[in-house]
């Protein structure tokens, strides 16, 4: 930074001289719009119009400008453009880059953006709560033209204030707002599919392994909150209040493994409904650690990540299209950038993938 003090700008020749440890280093400065204008013999405004495909440029001028751009290998500085308007950047906040379901969302978003002039950037958070807010804030500070926030742990008011400045799509959470759009899975329906499947197999002692209390706070609209709430409702409706058992864990496979182990040290349920597939893999490992097979303890996940269908894993889970969600989120953002103001909410339908990890309940051993 202090180097800038010794940068001599040489406007005519495009050389930049800087003093580094005594000696003067000369390097070719990147072309600016000014350089292009001078070379093409036109004004900066003209070049600007050409690169923005704006109205009112003669074909002849367009051609000369494009030639100059080519010759100088000119690329507009995004920071400068951002100061006057758009950064042509869409930002997505990713709570946990290790989760393959989030990865699918990104793939969908990337696909929806190819062919447009927008670039996707990901701000990884990798820890709950504070970190997510930090990442979203970092995107906002970078003047992105739109933000996709994945189930952020923040108050709706906070998001609304953000959405007043920049288009926001909230992905995952079920609370709605007129300020931002939402893309969700139908977690109530997904949970219904899971619970009916397990109950239909005869299971009664069904444990629900889920995230922290903070994440599943009732009314928060977080997907895990909905899944927990519906789990409780289905257990109650089935007359199984006595069998309700909720176990908490962290956000990665290893936490789930450890917490499942602790559970199994104390008791052995006949089925475990796990908040998502990544955690379910940890549960499966723990079961393995305890020498328990699917015939003894059934496991259901959520998301249908690729590895769930792997034959040796064969995890029963709820499929929801992360690609479709990411793609839709981008589309909603682009519409908002185009000027749409009515809030829009989009939901994807879940389906149950029944695989080998769920089996009919084993006969109760004599107590």
Partner DNA sequence: TTGAAAGCGCTAACAA
Partner DNA sequence: TTGTTAGCGCTTTCAA
We find the least distance from the C-beta atom of residue 294 to DNA, in angstroms, to be 57
Q: Using the 8-state DSSP alphabet, how is residue 340 labeled? A: -
How, if at all, do strands 7-10 and 15-20 pair? antiparallel
Angle, vertex CA 243, rays to CA 240 and CA 244, nearest 5: 95
Give 314's strand partners. none
Q: Is 366 in the site for DNA (CB under 7 A)?
A: no
Task: Provide the 10 A C-beta neighbour count for residue 201.
Answer: 17
Pick between residue 5 and residue 341 the one whose CB is nearest to DNA.
5
Q: Residue 103 binds which one of DNA, its own copies, none, with CB within 5 to 8 A depending on kind?
A: its own copies
Among 25, 27, 71, 80, binds DNA (CB under 7 A): 80
DSSP 219-243: TS--HHHHHHHHHHHHHHHTT-GGG
We find the least distance from the C-beta atom of residue 305 to its own copies, in angstroms, to be 10
Let me know if 225 is exposed, middle or buried by CB neighbors in 10 A (0-12, 13-18, 19+): buried
Closest to 283 in 3D by CA, of 269, 194, 351, 197: 269
Give 31's strand partners. none
Pick between residue 82 and residue 244 the one whose CB is nearest to its own copies.
82
Q: Is 76 in the site for DNA (CB under 7 A)?
A: yes
Binding part of the chain for DNA, among 34-42, 177-185, 272-280, 303-311 by CB under 7 A, reads 34-42
Q: Using the 8-state DSSP alphabet, how is residue 210 labeled? A: E
Task: Provide the 10 A C-beta neighbour count for residue 241.
Answer: 10
Q: Name which of residues 5 to 24 contact DNA (CB under 7 A).
A: 5-6, 9, 11
Pick between residue 126 and residue 335 the one whose CB is nearest to its own copies.
126
Q: Residue 56 binds which one of DNA, its own copies, none, with CB within 5 to 8 A depending on kind?
A: DNA
Q: Is 77 in the site for DNA (CB under 7 A)?
A: yes
Give 271's strand partners. 206, 298
Pick between residue 36 and residue 274 the one whose CB is nearest to DNA.
36
Cα distance between residue 342 and residue 179, in whole Å: 9
Residue entry with tokens 């903070």:
214
Determine which helix (DSSP H) or strand (DSSP E) holds 35, and give its type and residue range: helix 33-40
The SS3 of residue 141 is helix
Binding part of the chain for DNA, among 43-51, 104-112, 170-178, 242-250 by CB under 7 A, reads 43-51
Q: Residue 57 binds which one of DNA, its own copies, none, with CB within 5 to 8 A depending on kind?
A: DNA
Q: Is 32 in the site for DNA (CB under 7 A)?
A: yes
Residues of this chain that interact with its own copies (CB under 8 A) are 1, 3-4, 20-21, 27-28, 30, 75-80, 82-87, 89, 91, 97-98, 100, 103, 106-107, 110, 119-124, 126, 135, 137-138, 140-143, 164-165, 253, 281, 284-285, 288, 306-307, 310-313, 339, 341
Q: Is 165 in the site for DNA (CB under 7 A)?
A: no
Among 51, 138, 140, 246, binds DNA (CB under 7 A): 51
Among 46, 109, 247, 264, binds DNA (CB under 7 A): 46
Q: Give how far Cα 331 sits from Cα of 15, 125, 173, 328, Å.
A: 43, 23, 18, 5
Binding part of the chain for DNA, among 47-55, 91-99, 223-231, 337-345 by CB under 7 A, reads 47-55
We find the least distance from the C-beta atom of residue 237 to its own copies, in angstroms, to be 35
We find the least distance from the C-beta atom of residue 281 to its own copies, in angstroms, to be 7
Q: Residue 60 binds which one of DNA, its own copies, none, with CB within 5 to 8 A depending on kind?
A: DNA
Task: Provide the 10 A C-beta neighbour count for residue 134.
Answer: 14
Q: Residue 126 binds which one of DNA, its own copies, none, with CB within 5 to 8 A depending on kind?
A: its own copies
Angle, vertex CA 168, rays to CA 162 and CA 172, nearest 5: 115
We find the least distance from the C-beta atom of residue 246 to its own copies, in angstroms, to be 26
For 40, the token pair is: 């093409």
């Amino acid at each position: 930074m202090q180097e800038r003090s010794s940068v001599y700008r040489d406007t005519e020749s495009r050389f930049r001289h800087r003093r580094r440890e005594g000696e003067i280093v000369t390097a070719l400065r990147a072309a600016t719009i000014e350089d292009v204008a001078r070379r093409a013999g036109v004004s900066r405004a003209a070049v600007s119009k050409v690169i923005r495909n704006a109205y009112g440029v003669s074909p002849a001028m367009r051609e000369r400008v494009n030639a100059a751009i080519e010759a100088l290998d000119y690329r507009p500085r995004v920071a400068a453009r951002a100061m006057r308007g758009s950064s042509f950047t869409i930002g997505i906040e990713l709570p946990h880059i290790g989760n393959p379901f989030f990865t699918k969302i990104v793939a969908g978003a990337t696909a929806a953006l190819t062919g447009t002039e927008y670039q996707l950037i990901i701000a990884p958070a990798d820890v709950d709560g504070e970190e997510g807010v930090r990442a979203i804030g970092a995107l906002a500070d970078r003047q992105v033209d739109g933000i996709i926030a994945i189930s952020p742990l923040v108050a709706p008011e906070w998001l609304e204030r953000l959405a007043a400045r920049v288009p926001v799509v909230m992905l995952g959470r079920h609370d709605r707002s007129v300020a931002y759009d939402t893309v969700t899975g139908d977690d109530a329906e997904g949970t219904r599919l899971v619970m009916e499947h397990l109950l239909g197999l005869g299971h009664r002692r069904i444990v629900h392994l889920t995230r922290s209390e903070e994440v599943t706070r009732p009314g928060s609209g977080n997907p895990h909150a909905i899944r927990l709430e519906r789990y409780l409702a289905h257990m109650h409706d089935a007359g199984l209040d006595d069998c309700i058992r909720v176990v908490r864990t962290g956000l990665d496979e290893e936490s789930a493994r450890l917490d499942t182990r602790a559970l199994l040290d104390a008791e052995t349920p006949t089925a475990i409904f796990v908040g998502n597939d990544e955690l379910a893999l940890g549960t499966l490992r723990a079961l393995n650690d305890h020498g328990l097979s699917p015939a003894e303890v059934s496991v259901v996940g959520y998301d249908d990540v690729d590895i769930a269908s792997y034959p040796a894993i064969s995890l029963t889970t709820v499929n929801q299209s992360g690609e479709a969600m990411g793609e839709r989120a981008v589309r909603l953002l682009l519409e908002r950038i185009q000027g749409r103001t009515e809030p829009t909410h989009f939901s994807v339908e879940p389906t149950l993938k029944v695989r080998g990890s769920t089996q009919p309940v084993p006969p109760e051993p004599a107590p």
